[in-house]
Structure 1
């Protein structure tokens, strides 16, 4: 069934060509359930292989149910070793997407709750919050969407979608760079300092520019700007996963100790970035205060970190010590 009238009703802006399925789901902003028929037990047993296997996906949008043939595999690194549920990558058939009125952007990345209990749900909630918080400070972020996964086990597993590279390329009219190495010297300076300060706020040291560890680099068309976009925040102190530990060479004992990792940042650059972050304090605190699924204990802890962060930004002497 073609759903184009329904899709255009959901999208608040005029898009060139057909909207992608991800765009439609994100614009609707309602939790949708992906019912996936596949050999789930086999996927879990062979999760370290990251090999695709056949799957059938059922989605209910409005009054219509769509069915797509697909390929599904596990994804991730540390989470594959320590989590009960692996993260997933799904590829729908492009011809079926086009027939349903969507564009052919067909790849979806899922982050699942690590364990099937309240602790796993809390990690998931806080990691999605970090993605949402990043959008407060930067225009170049991954969009996310809370979803449910019905894997035929009698219940629904909580998860969220993280925008795939091809979606970011279409949205930003840009290319996501496919390189193995990168230098901080080649990055857009304002975007780089913004990224460093954001990771400092959320107590995240699990990133590295040189080998593109937990960073994507976006180059908007017509520019030579290499803009870093961080992702995978489960090792941050904001998320507080039980398995997260800092690298030994950083000289910090836990992920809850702030550590500045910016390189060759000038006083003027960090002062400018601090002014931008200071202007967003009200939005940051509101996002944390109003989050419906965030436990009160976690809310208080995150707000304390935000308060400490802003005290640093307001004290020029202490702020400039970061870049000495």
Structure 2
């Protein structure tokens, strides 16, 4: 009896020390620490033999909560458009069966997007680190967002004659249906929702965030780099993703739409629709109050990109806060730049 009591005490003590419930693997997105995973497959085969409905079978080795390595059978496929066509490492979706995920970190997240660097260049991971930062910044600003988990990815491309394993920075993105379940809502796929019908406060926060990171590569109406979430009370809110084509990340392959009047992704342009000016002013003050928190998030993400990139990120975000702090600049770049309801049917 005494030995049994001691065992229970040790288990409880362990659970207190780790912040996890006893006998629990935890949740994939509980930690901000990068998790190690190992993958082995043919990139050529992945490109040629997979699509939205066809997967390639593989195995993924991963670091569990206790630090030990575990293995799950996975199915992988390509996804996306621009990066799929233009990058060496294609964006992927990783899927596993329920039985495989049981009693692992992936039990509640069996379907994930995987983001890897675009190229094999030595500095390519910096852009992944900055895109991951963008997701963290959105969590600082918005109530409804995708969860992400930073990764150290050991990848062996079976097409490589030397069979060398490369280590890449990457991250998982929560699946659309999982984020909807988390908020008790539903993703409205393939439906054109006029942005002015979305919940005002959530949409203005979203629009300010897109201005902050310098993103014009999105559309709520056409669900381009954005999902639309309907909550139980029928409220509709935006869920943005894919932040690589932004001024914050500023990758070598970045492009801008030549019809919107800017030359570079680092040029800011407010693409949100006009709302009640009092609401826009209130969200302005709300985000200004989070300035320290946002710069703290940038500092915490610093280890995942070069010092020069960190300085560039801080300067770029500071420029956004300079706009918010100036009545004149806020009028020029936001209140006078917002789009009228007549433009709601355009990209």
State the TM bucket, normalised to the shorter chain. 0.7 to 0.9
2:32 to 29, 38, 43: 29
User: When the two structures are superposed, what TM-score results if normalisation uses the length of structure 2?
Assistant: 0.82
Distance 1:119 1:9 in 2: 39
1:202 to 213, 223, 243: 213
2:324 to 313, 319, 323: 313
The answer to whether residue 60 in structure 2 is matched with residue 57 in structure 1 is yes
Task: Please identify, of 117-126 and 189-198, the stretch whose mean Cα deviation from structure 2 is larger.
Answer: 117-126
The answer to whether residue 126 in structure 2 is matched with residue 122 in structure 1 is yes
C-alpha change, 1:254 and 1:175, in structure 2 (3 Å) is same
How far did residue 238 of structure 1 move? Answer: 0.4
Write out per-residue CA displacement over residues 273-298 of structure 1, whole angstroms, 9 at most, x where no aligned residue: 11111001111222223422332222
How far did residue 151 of structure 1 move? Answer: 3.0
C-alpha change, 1:286 and 1:51, in structure 2 (3 Å) is same
User: Cα RMSD over matched residues?
Assistant: 2.8
2:98 to 84, 94, 118: 94
How far did residue 92 of structure 1 move? Answer: 0.5
Equivalent position of 1:228 in the other structure:
238
C-alpha change, 1:13 and 1:179, in structure 2 (3 Å) is farther
Distance 1:123 1:87 in 2: 14
The answer to whether residue 293 in structure 2 is matched with residue 283 in structure 1 is yes
User: Structure 1: where are the runs of 5+ without partners?
Assistant: none
Contact 1:150 1:157 (8 Å CA) reproduced: yes
Residues 139-154 of structure 1 mapped to structure 2, 5 A cutoff:
139-152=143-156, 153-154=164-165
The answer to whether residue 300 in structure 2 is matched with residue 297 in structure 1 is no
Equivalent position of 2:344 in the other structure:
none
1:218 to 216, 229, 235: 229
Task: Please identify, of 129-138 and 174-183, the stretch whose mean Cα deviation from structure 2 is larger.
Answer: 174-183
How far did residue 49 of structure 1 move? Answer: 7.5
The answer to whether residue 45 in structure 2 is matched with residue 42 in structure 1 is yes
Equivalent position of 2:277 in the other structure:
267
Distance 2:292 2:105 in 1: 40
Matched residue SS, 1:151: strand
Distance 1:261 1:183 in 2: 14
Contact 2:75 2:96 (8 Å CA) reproduced: yes
Distance 1:141 1:49 in 2: 24
C-alpha change, 1:47 and 1:115, in structure 2 (3 Å) is farther
How far did residue 45 of structure 1 move? Answer: 4.5
User: Structure 2: where are the runs of 5+ without partners?
Assistant: 1-10, 157-163, 337-347
Matched residue SS, 1:274: helix
Distance 1:104 1:128 in 2: 21
How far did residue 47 of structure 1 move? Answer: 6.4
Distance 2:269 2:105 in 1: 47
Equivalent position of 2:168 in the other structure:
157
2:73 to 65, 69, 76: 69
The answer to whether residue 335 in structure 2 is matched with residue 323 in structure 1 is yes
User: When the two structures are superposed, what TM-score results if normalisation uses the length of structure 1?
Assistant: 0.87
Contact 1:10 1:27 (8 Å CA) reproduced: no
Contact 1:94 1:104 (8 Å CA) reproduced: no
C-alpha change, 1:163 and 1:99, in structure 2 (3 Å) is closer
Matched residue SS, 2:70: strand
